């Protein structure tokens, strides 16, 4: 069976989660970004696939190489759309899955489900609770349009997708309330001991 390409675009650890600045300092946000990325990448590994980390940040590249992940250079000026497009280009006809790295409750079973849909030739789309796109996968090129409410732009693009709505994809981290909600759930309990010192 051909191994799909699973990509986690990560812009930076040092400049992550600015919307959490009211509650957490720069070092805490950096540590949190690294912890979330490690959780998501490990979850992908547990689903049987080695993740590709798409980045141009030195600290992210060093973390990825130390973890044994595959590193893909983030195209300059392309943003998240460009990073996702580069991953699809590298997939070269293989099934692919673009996954956000801030999914504290993601399970290997959810990753495997999304990969199964992509492997079947269907498109898979998983929204976050606020209308973003936590995961998108398929075969061949796709017109990525990330940003606020991206799920509603991705939904009608290309072939009709199979939409997956489950906890691991729905809950991403944008606000302090998201962290608190995740830490109170059994799947996100690991956050209680995270470097961000969640209370």
Of residues 146 and 77, more confidence is placed in 146
Q: What are phi and psi of 152, to 5 degrees?
A: -75, -20
User: Residue 137: enclosing H or E segment and its boundaries?
Assistant: strand 133-138
| Nearest one of 133, 173, 176, 182 to 153, comparing CA atoms | 133
pLDDT at 81: 97
73 three-state secondary structure: strand
Residue 18: the pLDDT is 83
The pLDDT tens digits for 9-51 are 999 999 888 888 888 899 999 999 999 999 999 999 999 999 9
Tens digits of per-residue pLDDT, 133-173? 999 999 999 999 999 999 999 999 988 999 999 999 999 99
Q: Domains plus CATH for the chain?
A: 5-193 (3.90.550.10)
Characterize the bridge pairing of strands 96-99 and 52-55. unpaired
Confidence of residue 198 (pLDDT cuts 50, 70, 90): very low
pTM of the model: 0.94
Angle between helix axes 26-46 and 108-119 (nearest 10 degrees) is 60
């Amino acid at each position: 069976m051909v191994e799909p390409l699973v990509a986690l675009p990560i812009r930076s650890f040092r400049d992550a989660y600015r919307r959490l600045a009211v509650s957490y300092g720069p070092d805490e946000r950096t540590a949190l970004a690294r912890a979330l990325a490690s959780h998501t990448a490990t979850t992908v590994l547990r689903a049987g696939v080695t993740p590709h980390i798409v980045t141009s940040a030195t600290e992210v590249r060093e973390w990825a190489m130390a973890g044994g992940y595959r590193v893909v250079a983030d195209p300059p000026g392309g943003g998240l759309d460009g990073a996702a497009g580069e991953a699809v280009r590298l997939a070269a006809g293989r099934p692919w899955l673009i996954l956000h790295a801030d999914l504290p409750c993601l399970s290997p079973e959810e990753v495997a489900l999304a990969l199964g849909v992509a492997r079947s030739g269907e498109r898979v789309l998983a929204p976050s609770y606020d209308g973003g796109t936590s995961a998108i996968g398929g075969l061949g090129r796709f017109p990525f349009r990330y940003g606020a409410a991206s799920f509603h732009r991705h939904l009608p693009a290309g072939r009709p997708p199979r939409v997956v709505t489950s906890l691991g994809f729905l809950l991403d981290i944008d606000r302090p309330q998201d962290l608190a909600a995740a830490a109170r759930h059994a799947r996100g309990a690991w956050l209680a001991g995270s470097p961000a010192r969640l209370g």
